[in-house]
Amino acid sequence: MKTKSAIKPRNSKIYLYLLPGLAIYAFVVLVPLVMALRYSFFDWSGGPNMDFIGLDNFVALIQDDVFWQSFRNNLFIIIMSIIGQVGIAFLIAVLLTRSWVKWKQFHRTVIFIPNVLAAVIIGFLWSMIYNHDYGLLNYSLNAAGLESWISPWLDDPSIVMTSVTIPIVWQFVGFYLIIFMSAMQNIPDELYEAAKIDGATSWKQTWHITMPMLKSTFRVAIMLCIAGNMKVFDHIFVMTGGGPGSSSTVMAQYAYDVSFNRFELGYGSAVSIGMLALSLGLILISQIIGRGEKE
Amino acid sequence: MKWLTPLGKTIVNILLLMFSLSAVFPIIWMLYSSFKTQKEFTLNTISLPETWQFSNYIEAIQVGKLHEYFFNSVYISLSSVFLIIFLGFIIAYMIARFSFPGRKVIYILFMFGMLIPIHGLLVPIFIEFKNVGLLNKPYTLILPYVAFGLPIVIFLFESFIKQIPKEIDEAAIMDGCTTFQVIFKIIFPVASPVIATAVILSFLTAWNEFPFALVLIQDEALRTLPVGLTNFNGQYTVNYPQMMAAMSITVLPVLLIYLAFYKKIIQGMTAGSVKG
């Protein structure tokens, strides 16, 4: 550690420099976190009446079917994303290393585009694609002679989760593609050259060199999938608002509904705490499993 | 042994091309459909406009007041970016250069911010802002955007500054520079590549942000584009081309930035993730 040197200002001066940024960060992230814990012990609708009810909110939360349904929906999106985003992205990343694959630069540029767009835009765009009468999807099915496949994509509780998950997966494939591509560049060429001399086919090389070398990248990608999809909100708010009924509600949407439609701010805080705890728990579990695999 | 015949390779190439096109076609569809009339759109969803007409855009601005949302988005995003870069650079410099009590804790606190799902803070932040009277102010959204933007930027800056030789700072101090001058006159210009990345990333995040803008701002005149669009959708539920015109206005700045700074964006996004 480069400690005492001629250029080091006094500690008090350092703290003064850190203060503005730290203050904003503490005010927006740390204080609300602590306050949410406090509010979750109250029955409170935002007015002057706050009744301390101990753990009642959490007891109710554990028995709240909609909360657990929304958690399951988050899990569904996470699993689909791990298969869809990480899987497809890895496959494409491998393909883009093959000499016979064409238009590489085009693929790289284009697949990443949905990433930079607002989730709200993606949500609206896909509501339009799913629209029953004018949507791109039903139009294409019609044109392909598959009229029987035409469905009310966002209005049928039994398929709505799949319908809302596809745009979420679709939007972020490019992100994972870039992660895998930059990780693959760090694998030393000698490994592949040695394998080639031994007569390993390119798919064998992928299986025995690329995959094992990318273990930590896979771990990071899966963690990002979990962290990113526990907070998913915008897409679903725009496409279905969590409906029909509560069939496509996710935790963030549920916390929003409880707090801002039902005005139960105490219970809404408890839902938020539950959401944070479950997210951190899942991330932790995925890390532990990942670590264990490494040994 | 060959795994794929030439025919197989052609098929894989075609599939890959279809996948890539599926990533952009909806956006292209939105852009050109925004020049169609509602009637044209309902007659044929996919056709190009017969005459390219701007009436949807004019109406989006005159009736939908989209230019107000646009201005709010520009103002909020740019102010946030300025503060994120300014404050983030100071913090990163201090953490990268000096050891002082609490240095580790401060760094971990910020890195923690990259991990927690900030949407879990939506309700608590609303309550806090309500209690201290910070809702519906022209600067309301800047606070959360700065706080959420700081972690990734501090991470990017800190790892970059560590690689800059300390002799540069020492020479500047000898020449009589203050610490503030060393940070912004000497180190800041050296770090310009990573600053460019940080600026673009922070801008995109602020420009696209939705839930906090939805919850913390109820005043129509202060809304940003993403929330403005949801209002717009309510007013003109069936008029898709008009909605698409509004969406195109929202998307265009982002698309232009992406095409201009493609490399920087990708660098920044992956740098943040490799941290893990």
Q: What is the dihedral of CA A183, A104, A176, B212, to 10 degrees?
A: 130
Reported as type and span, the H/E element at residue A150 is: none
Q: In this structure, are B62 and B26 located in the same domain?
A: no
Q: In this structure, are A106 and A231 located in the same domain?
A: yes
Q: In this structure, are B90 and B215 located in the same domain?
A: yes
Q: In this structure, are B108 and B211 located in the same domain?
A: yes
Query: Does residue A3 fall inside a structural domain?
Result: no
Residue A95 CB contacts under 8 Å (≥ 6 apart), including other chains: A101, B12, B16
Q: In this structure, are A46 and A159 located in the same domain?
A: no
Task: List, for residues B53-68, the tens digit of each pLDDT value.
Answer: 888 899 888 888 889 9
A51 three-state secondary structure: strand
Query: Does residue B48 fall inside a structural domain?
Result: yes
Q: In this structure, are B154 and B29 located in the same domain?
A: no
Q: How many CB pairs under 8 A join A and B?
A: 277
Out of B24, B117, B123, the one facing A265 most closely (by C-beta) is B123
How much is the pLDDT for B3? 61
Question: What's the CA angle centered on A237, arms A235 and A243, to 5 degrees?
Answer: 115
Q: Is the pLDDT of residue B47 over 70?
A: yes
Query: Does residue B80 fall inside a structural domain?
Result: yes
Query: Does residue B195 fall inside a structural domain?
Result: yes
Long-range contacts of B163-168 (CB under 8 A, 24+ apart): B164/B190, B164/B191, B166/A2, B166/A5, B166/A7, B166/B97
Q: In this structure, are A43 and A167 located in the same domain?
A: no
Task: List, for residues B180-193, the tens digit of each pLDDT value.
Answer: 999 999 999 999 88
Q: Is the pLDDT of residue B236 over 60?
A: no
DSSP secondary structure letters along B215-271: HH---GGG--HHHHHHHHHHHTTT-HHHHHHHHHHHHHHHHHHHHHSHHHHHHHHHH
> Does B3 or B11 have the greater pLDDT score?
B11
Query: Does residue A6 fall inside a structural domain?
Result: no
Q: Choose the mutation target among B118, B127, B225 for the interface with A, i.e. most A CBs under 10 Å.
A: B127
Query: Does residue A1 fall inside a structural domain?
Result: no
> Does A287 or B80 have the greater pLDDT score?
B80
Q: In this structure, are A103 and A202 located in the same domain?
A: yes
Q: In this structure, are B22 and B107 located in the same domain?
A: no
Query: Does residue A46 fall inside a structural domain?
Result: yes
**Spatial separation of the C-alpha atoms in residues A139 and A129, rounded to whole Å:** 9
User: What is chain A's pLDDT, residue by residue, as a tens digit (295 residues)?
Assistant: 444 455 688 888 999 999 999 999 999 999 998 888 888 888 887 777 778 888 888 888 999 999 999 999 999 999 999 999 999 999 999 988 888 888 888 898 899 899 899 999 999 999 989 988 878 888 888 888 888 888 888 888 889 999 999 999 999 999 899 888 888 888 888 888 888 888 888 888 888 888 888 888 888 888 888 888 888 999 999 999 888 888 999 999 999 999 999 888 888 889 999 998 998 898 888 878 777 655 4
- Whichever domain contains A272, its CATH number is 1.10.3720.10
Q: In this structure, are A130 and A263 located in the same domain?
A: yes
Q: Which residue has the tokens 């206005």?
A: B249
Stretch 229-258 of chain B: residues touching chain A, C-beta under 8 Å = 229-230, 233, 240, 243-244, 247, 250-251, 254-255, 257-258
**Spatial separation of the C-alpha atoms in residues B53 and A119, rounded to whole Å:** 28
How much is the pLDDT for A73? 95
Q: In this structure, are B13 and B77 located in the same domain?
A: no
Query: Does residue B196 fall inside a structural domain?
Result: yes
Domains: count for chain A: 2
Q: By the CB < 8 Å criterion, does B64 face chain A?
A: no
The tokens describing A60, both together, are 């109710």
B11 three-state secondary structure: helix
Q: In this structure, are A109 and A29 located in the same domain?
A: no
| Amino acid at position A275, single letter | M
Q: In this structure, are A36 and A72 located in the same domain?
A: no
Task: List, for residues B107-116, the tens digit of each pLDDT value.
Answer: 999 988 887 7
Q: How confident is the model at residue B276 (pLDDT cuts 50, 70, 90)?
A: very low
Nearest residue of A to residue B115 by CA position? Answer: A227
Angstrom CA distances, A189 to A92, A108, A184, B2, B224, stand at: 19, 22, 10, 21, 49
Find the domain containing A32 and state its range.
11-52
How much is the pLDDT for A6? 56
Query: Does residue A203 fall inside a structural domain?
Result: yes
Contact A6/B173, CB-based, under 8 Å?
Answer: yes
Work out the minimum CA distance from A136 to partner chain B, whole angstroms.
7
| Amino acid at position A11, single letter | N
Q: In this structure, are B200 and B218 located in the same domain?
A: yes
Q: In this structure, are A104 and A44 located in the same domain?
A: no
**Spatial separation of the C-alpha atoms in residues A56 and A58, rounded to whole Å:** 5
Q: In this structure, are B112 and B215 located in the same domain?
A: yes
Query: Does residue A42 fall inside a structural domain?
Result: yes
Burial of A188 (0-12, 13-18, 19+ CB in 10 A): exposed
Query: Does residue A85 fall inside a structural domain?
Result: yes
Task: List, for residues B128-187, the tens digit of each pLDDT value.
Answer: 999 899 999 999 999 999 999 999 899 989 989 999 998 899 899 888 888 899 999 999
Contact indicator for A81, A172 with CB cutoff of 8 Å: yes
Q: In this structure, are B49 and B65 located in the same domain?
A: no
Nearest residue of A to residue B30 by CA position? Answer: A125
Phi and psi based region of residue B223 (left: phi greater than 0; alpha: psi -120 to 50; beta: remaining): beta
Q: By the CB < 8 Å criterion, does B34 face chain A?
A: no
Chain A residues within an 8 Å CB radius of B108:
none
Q: How confident is the model at residue B101 (pLDDT cuts 50, 70, 90)?
A: very high
**Spatial separation of the C-alpha atoms in residues B36 and B54, rounded to whole Å:** 9
Q: In this structure, are B42 and B64 located in the same domain?
A: no
Q: Which of B55, B74, B89 is the last residue of a domain?
A: B55
- Whichever domain contains B168, its CATH number is 1.10.3720.10
Contact B26/A202, CB-based, under 8 Å?
Answer: no
Find the domain containing B262 and state its range.
58-274
Q: In this structure, are B200 and B121 located in the same domain?
A: yes
Q: Which of B36, B55, B74 is the last residue of a domain?
A: B55
Burial of A116 (0-12, 13-18, 19+ CB in 10 A): buried
**Spatial separation of the C-alpha atoms in residues B40 and A217, rounded to whole Å:** 48
Q: In this structure, are A198 and A281 located in the same domain?
A: yes
Contact indicator for A125, B27 with CB cutoff of 8 Å: yes
User: What is the reported pTM?
Assistant: 0.88
Is the ipTM, as predicted for this complex, more than 0.90? Answer: no
Across the range B12-39, mean pLDDT stands at 91
Q: In this structure, are B22 and B78 located in the same domain?
A: no
Task: List, for residues B29-39, the tens digit of each pLDDT value.
Answer: 999 999 998 88
Q: In this structure, are A213 and A283 located in the same domain?
A: yes
Out of A2, A102, A124, the one facing B243 most closely (by C-beta) is A124
**Spatial separation of the C-alpha atoms in residues B48 and A244, rounded to whole Å:** 33
Query: Does residue A4 fall inside a structural domain?
Result: no
Ranking A52-61, B8-17, B73-82, B235-244 by mean pLDDT, the lowest is B235-244
Domains: count for chain B: 2
Q: In this structure, are A185 and A276 located in the same domain?
A: yes
Residue B67 CB contacts under 8 Å (≥ 6 apart), including other chains: B61
Query: Does residue B1 fall inside a structural domain?
Result: no
How much is the pLDDT for B234? 62
Work out the minimum CA distance from A151 to partner chain B, whole angstroms.
17
Query: Does residue B267 fall inside a structural domain?
Result: yes
**Spatial separation of the C-alpha atoms in residues B157 and B272, rounded to whole Å:** 11
